[in-house]
Homo-oligomer: A and B are copies of this chain.
Amino acid sequence: MDIIVLKPGVKRDQIKKIESRLKSMGLGTNVIIKGTERTIIGVKGDTARILPEQEDSFRVMDGVEEVMRIIKPYKLASREVKNSGTVINVKGRKIGGKKLCVMAGPCSIEGPQTFMDIAQKVKKAGANFLRGGAFKPRTSPYSFQGMGEEGLKILSDAGKQTGLPVVTEVMDPRDLEAVVDYADIIQIGTRNMQNFRLLLEVGLCRKPVLLKRGLSATIKEWLMAAEYIMSNGNSKVILCERGIRTFETSTRNTLDLSAVPVLKKLTHLPVIVDPSHGVGHVEFVVPMAKAAIAAGADGLMIEVHSNPQEAFSDGEQSQTPEQFMKMMKELKPVARAVGRDI
């Protein structure tokens, strides 16, 4: 059901044209309601399949003031299609269940020794997934751009040795095959949330996809990005809130924790939170990790580096393994307080 609001003084033949256009789209019987100030057309029929461009085409017709959409543009991601929460199983570890998932590791993979060292420490502290970047999106072309496929191997080895499933980002469709070979979860980063071609391709994979929210993406756009992946057959999508861009500069981004309960209402997909990128300063990560869990998140993604001063990227927001271990202990009672385990 959609609503077409007509301009004051709309003419009969303008309404006729709108109706015949609706009819030509198979949207037959409509209802015209004359109010004191406006006349509206209530469109019956299967309006769910009206595409955005078709919606727009009514907006430019003579006599039309506004087109209001009632049906949500995403379907597969919606709670209306699937009411129960999706639980994603990755090598025996569940995302979306009672037990929270914690994905920890450094921003960039910098070498086998340092990475294995971190991997073992985060595992010991209670992380159940290992993260690490091999392909790095960097704002400066002169910055370290990641170890590439060599990094993927290091990641995969560390995963095998620790028994932790691994998650890493793909930036370029040409790297997807390699990433799929080595990773257990494929990450789509914030800058690629609307890289629609990449979304379609990970939609053809069997592996779960961690979809980070775009820096200025509305929740609706984010769910449309998930829909892209799901429309190609891959329904194992994990949403990750990581902060949006606002006018506030005391944190790197503004972590939008309200997105957690909003998503829990709109979608059946699991939702995790990355407070490290959200706040950008290590001193604020712990309180926001606690808040994320209290808000109902299904897990966390945390940056950990043995020596943040020497990190090739994101040192300022990385915890040391000791800080991570301490945080994990403090998160336990918070998780329990909201009926979860960690």
Binding site for B on A (CB under 8 A): 1, 3, 5, 8, 31, 33-40, 42-49, 51-53, 56-57, 59-61, 66, 68, 70-71, 73, 80, 137-145, 171-174, 191-192, 194-197, 199-200, 215-216, 218-221, 224, 227-228, 231-232, 244-251, 254-262, 265, 278-279, 282-284, 287-288, 290-296, 308-316, 318, 333-334, 336-338
Contact = CB atoms under 8 A, between A and B. Distances in A.
A219 B250 contact: yes
Contact of A172 (B34, B197, B293): B197
Contacts of A45: 35-36
Contacts of A292: 291
A258 B262 contact: no
Given A35-B42, A250-B259, A290-B294, 13 more contacts: A1-B40, A35-B44, A36-B45, A59-B316, A60-B315, A60-B318, A171-B196, A244-B246, A249-B249, A287-B295, A294-B294, A294-B334, A336-B337
Nearest to A246: B246
Q: How many copies does the complex hold?
A: 4
Contacts of A173: 172-174
A71 B140 contact: no
A140 B191 contact: no
Identify which of A1, A36, A313, A314 gathers the most chain B CB atoms within 10 Å of its CB. A1
B52 A35 contact: no
A340 B156 CA distance: 42
Contacts of A66: 70
19 contacts: A8-B80, A35-B47, A36-B48, A49-B142, A51-B143, A52-B140, A73-B140, A139-B221, A141-B231, A141-B232, A173-B174, A245-B245, A248-B259, A251-B258, A260-B291, A261-B283, A265-B284, A290-B294, A333-B333
